[in-house]
Structure 1
Amino acid sequence: MAGVTGDGPSAGGVIRLAIVDDDPLVRAGLRILVGGSPEIEVVAEAGDGAEAVTVAQAHRLDVMLMDIRMPRVDGLAATRRIRSRPGAPQIIVLTTFDVDEYVLEALRGGAGGFLLKDTPPREILTAVRTVAAGAASLSPTVIRRLIDHVADPAAGTRRARSRQRLATLTERESEVALLVGEGRSNAEIGTHLGMSLPTVKGHVSRLLTKLDLNNRVQIALLVHDAELL
């Protein structure tokens, strides 16, 4: 795993974005959308997952908008490859939720969130800013819906393994992990546990390192896999 990367936007506060989609019209539409936001700059595009991996290596990026269904290398494989490397950009998966059963796999592969392709423009920009800042663009309701949506015959095995991994945590780390699993923000966790924001951030960072995860979405998925919520 790549570990913690959430250093935030590049110098100057501009979020450097890459758009990955096999449909040129979708890429053009997203580029036009982002063009109206002075703090987000589209620095690269790719038409499939193989190109996305190359783009991630060639450019200093903060966020990638990643389609799932693409030729050659799909967005799932590309997300895993990109997020496994140090200094990897955050990734937001683009999907059509009602027909796509692979979102959960993308999140386990290191994606920081997902957007439906019919998401209102303002919400797309908000998601990019949120993920660039190192937070997850994923609500607890969405996590539960994703888990319910995907039938998984390996659930029993994953539950046992997840509980085994979480058993290595201290009592306080376990409390923080459960609250992350509920979709709580760092500020909400701090209020609930009576801790300062820097202390909460420190606990989350240690969780990522100790559990060998990329981001807080994966913490939430681990908690749900363990069926602790």
Structure 2
Amino acid sequence: MKQWVKMPSDWIKDGEGTKLRSLKWQGEEKSDYIAALMLYLIFVHHANDEITTQFDEVGRCSITYDALLAITGLSKAKISGGIQVLKSLELILVLQNGNRNVYVVKNYGEFSGWAKLPAKRLYSRSMSELSVFQNFKLRSKVELNALKIYLLILALRNNHSNAASVSYEKISTYTGVARNDIRKALSFLVTQGLVHVDQHSTEINEYSTSSRYRPCFIDAYKHQGTSGRVPK
């Protein structure tokens, strides 16, 4: 597996986060939303980025339920529920190839509208499980909020600074996460080793600072100490 893979990102920003905003921590199946975002990352990780003997189009992966169980730690019911959510959001298609499913990541082959998604470093050494997901219990809205914000950070990441500079107001607009819940979700991402939070000075005054959110495991040599200010 590569250090990072291309992930379609227009759906995260399009219409100011319509699809992310629709995933709210309410209803009997709310934990399926967490499962859906977990599974989306895995399908992107395992999608083919070039034509192969198995697939004549990019953005496809054939992965068994047993493999998904091991990678995510989810139950079969949650995997099924998460897949249904992704289908309803039109983020994936599910095709039949004999007795196996082929998961098609929508808009995978687009030349624009993609983000770098960390891959290999998120997995265990054996590549049999996505290590960070082992701490997800699917019982708290902070997990859903954190995953939505993580996707937004990846989508808004500036290639020069290797970070996303985005206000709480914009985070809330794109993701639907309440402003009062954002800090807790960001702390969760930091604790899980998914995001670094850097402080940098602004031009408001000599004491003013703002936050940049830097995804872990992407271009590690690019950080506040090496990139400086983002060019205007």
Tell me, yes or no, whether TM beats 0.5: no
More helix by share: 1
Output the TM-score relative to the length of structure 2.
0.31
Output the TM-score relative to the length of structure 1.
0.31
Higher relative contact order (CA 8 A, sep 6+): 2
More strand by share: 2
